[in-house]
Amino acid sequence: MTRSAPRKALPLPLTLTTALTVALLTGCGTQVRNPVTGQLQRTVMDEQQEVATGAKNHQEILKEYGQYPDAKLQAYVNEVGQKLARQSHRAELVWHFTVLDSPVINAFALPGGYVYITRGLMAYLDSEADLAGVLGHEIGHVTARHGAQQATRQQNASLGVLAASVLGAVLEANGVSGAGRMASDVSQGVAAGLVASHSREHETEADRLGAEYLARSQYNPANMVDVIQVLKSQETYATDQARAQGRQVSGGNDWLATHPSNDQRLQDIRTVATRYPGPDQGRYADDGRQRYLSAIQGMAFGDSPEQGLVRGAQFLHPELGIALTAPEGWRIQNGADTLTVVSADGQAALLMKLAPTSAGRDHAQVIRQAVQPTAGHTQPVQLNGLKATRFVGQRRNSQGQVQNVQATVVDGPKGQVYLLVPMARHAQAQSLHAQALAAAEGSFRPLNAADQALARPWVVVKDTYPRTGWSGLAARSALAGAGTPAEPALKLLNGYYGGGEPKVGSAVKNVVARP
């Protein structure tokens, strides 16, 4: 949750889609020579339009995701990116490389030479050559003009994800199942990585071009394999976590299914990598692991305080000054504008969001505007010293059916007004989870001293792999005691989720709370 103008924790920028759609509708369909294939293509966007579209949407991206506030890290990523871009099919473009302040694992490109990587993805990369693999792939999307070609498909791919986060839509159409799906979209989107909106052919082409640019820049193209392996491990980890927590593992028929699987990409890229045996009897420049680990030293890890943090069962928002505890076994999904606390069986959820500012601070008005009830009554209550109003009543959905609805409006400690809405898929789930829902709602509180201590932001640090192994590393990690087991999370962070172990005494990554 964000205080205002929420940054979108989404894999695709809405505004890009909109701009591309406009370009599609108004474009005149000129011919452009594809810089990679050399063939003439009918297009709605010539190079000038590509650059203009990129520049315009770049501002939107920065507004929505935020630029990661570390000039040194930005300069480092830019330097690696520029080196690759100079070796690309469009060296003459003005290239821009930006690290976005998002914990989501993603990288993407806009037409015209704008390339983005999240700090979330950077934490899981292990060397400069890995970083080059990601940037090279995205440069490939730009040089082969995939953005312009893919406009329509991108539009289709992003809609389902975007629609999910609106409370009204969730209440209207899907009940809790909608909230559950939103949660799974988010985690699946994370695993998909590297923008899941391109076609199989385009992904393969970008992988191939990335490998070529890596080889030309003296990086081993086999690092492309590492990068795909990182994404693949994220998928496996997410699935394992879901199983361990008794959650349903998302099936294959969501938007991921329309994109090449990481398994397939892994296979494809292995083949591609062998085509570039290396410049100097197979020798490449070093993979820049030490440079990379130094560059990301102290980089923020996971949620940022401005977006609110999830620490095990606790949701903590230092900026808004609020905290909430999830019932045991429930999971917290921190969306851009809605916090969803979902039961393990996915049958019930508590939604929390900021009340619309247009409703003012009057609780009755907030309920009228947010819930649009047809009948019901309100009752003043207290939530841990905060003034609140509970509403119980009915509303009509878009099909005209009468639904029971509850909502609690609370005055937050810093002047904001919050809306808490317990939901269940059906009456039976409602009664089964009533107690837990009430407990979750009742835990809404001003941030206390213990919450404050727990809310210290996390950063990535260089550590040394101890004799005591993963458990020793976990013992000094902030990831321990955060609700999920620390060892698998550390293996994932260091690229050992599939097995194996670093040498004792070698440099590894760890996560600690910022002092």
CB of 141 to Zn ion, least distance (A): 5
- Rounded to whole angstroms, the Cα distance separating 282 from 270 reads 16
- Rounded to whole angstroms, the Cα distance separating 88 from 108 reads 17
CA dihedral defined by 494, 508, 99, 318, rounded to 10 degrees? 90
Contact 423, 171 (CB under 8 A): yes
190 binds Zn ion (CB under 5 A): no
- Cβ-based nearer residue to Zn ion, 203 or 212: 203
- Cβ-based nearer residue to Zn ion, 138 or 303: 138
CB of 131 to Zn ion, least distance (A): 15
- Cβ-based nearer residue to Zn ion, 64 or 203: 203
Q: Which two structure tokens, joined as six digits, stand for 426?
A: 């059906």
**Residue located via tokens 């905060």:** 386
Contact 403, 396 (CB under 8 A): yes
Reported as half-sphere exposure (CB side, CA atoms, 13 A), residue 282 has a value of 5
Binding range to Zn ion, per CB under 5 A, among 90-98, 196-204, 474-482, 486-494:
196-204
CA distances from 498 to 22, 121, 229, 471 (A): 44, 18, 9, 17
Q: Report the site for Zn ion in 242-271 (rule: CB under 5 A).
A: none
CA distances from 426 to 346, 349, 419, 431, 436 (A): 12, 12, 21, 9, 16
Binding range to Zn ion, per CB under 5 A, among 183-191, 205-213, 326-334, 371-379:
205-213
- Rounded to whole angstroms, the Cα distance separating 258 from 213 reads 27
- Cβ-based nearer residue to Zn ion, 261 or 369: 261
Q: Report the site for Zn ion in 40-69 (rule: CB under 5 A).
A: none
CB of 60 to Zn ion, least distance (A): 20
CB of 231 to Zn ion, least distance (A): 11
CB of 216 to Zn ion, least distance (A): 19
CB of 138 to Zn ion, least distance (A): 7
Binding range to Zn ion, per CB under 5 A, among 95-103, 197-205, 449-457, 506-514:
197-205
Q: Report the site for Zn ion in 65-94 (rule: CB under 5 A).
A: none
- Cβ-based nearer residue to Zn ion, 195 or 460: 195
- Cβ-based nearer residue to Zn ion, 182 or 194: 194
CB of 113 to Zn ion, least distance (A): 16
- Cβ-based nearer residue to Zn ion, 200 or 289: 200
Pairing of strands 96-100, 114-118: parallel
- Rounded to whole angstroms, the Cα distance separating 367 from 30 reads 53
Among 206, 322, 370, 493, binds Zn ion (CB under 5 A): 206
Binding range to Zn ion, per CB under 5 A, among 124-132, 183-191, 203-211, 357-365:
203-211
- Rounded to whole angstroms, the Cα distance separating 209 from 203 reads 10
- Cβ-based nearer residue to Zn ion, 58 or 198: 198
Q: Report the site for Zn ion in 277-336 (rule: CB under 5 A).
A: none
Among 170, 192, 194, 350, binds Zn ion (CB under 5 A): 194
CB of 107 to Zn ion, least distance (A): 8
Contact 345, 331 (CB under 8 A): no
- Cβ-based nearer residue to Zn ion, 122 or 293: 122
What are the residues whose beta carbons fall under 8 Å from the beta carbon of 325, sequence distance 6 or more? Answer: 313, 314, 315, 439, 440, 443
User: Quick one: DSSP state of residue 90?
Assistant: T
CB of 333 to Zn ion, least distance (A): 26
- Cβ-based nearer residue to Zn ion, 90 or 491: 90
How many chain residues are in contact with Zn ion, going by CB under 5 A? 4
Distance of CA 254 to the CA centre of its chain: 17
CB of 195 to Zn ion, least distance (A): 5
Binding range to Zn ion, per CB under 5 A, among 192-200, 242-250, 418-426, 490-498:
192-200
Each residue 137-176 as x (binds Zn ion by CB under 5 A) or -, in order, gives: ----------------------------------------
CA distances from 362 to 70, 383, 418, 422, 446 (A): 41, 17, 11, 21, 20
- Rounded to whole angstroms, the Cα distance separating 359 from 369 reads 7
Q: Which residue type is seen at 384?
A: N
User: Contact positions toward Zn ion, by CB under 5 A?
Assistant: 194, 198, 203, 206
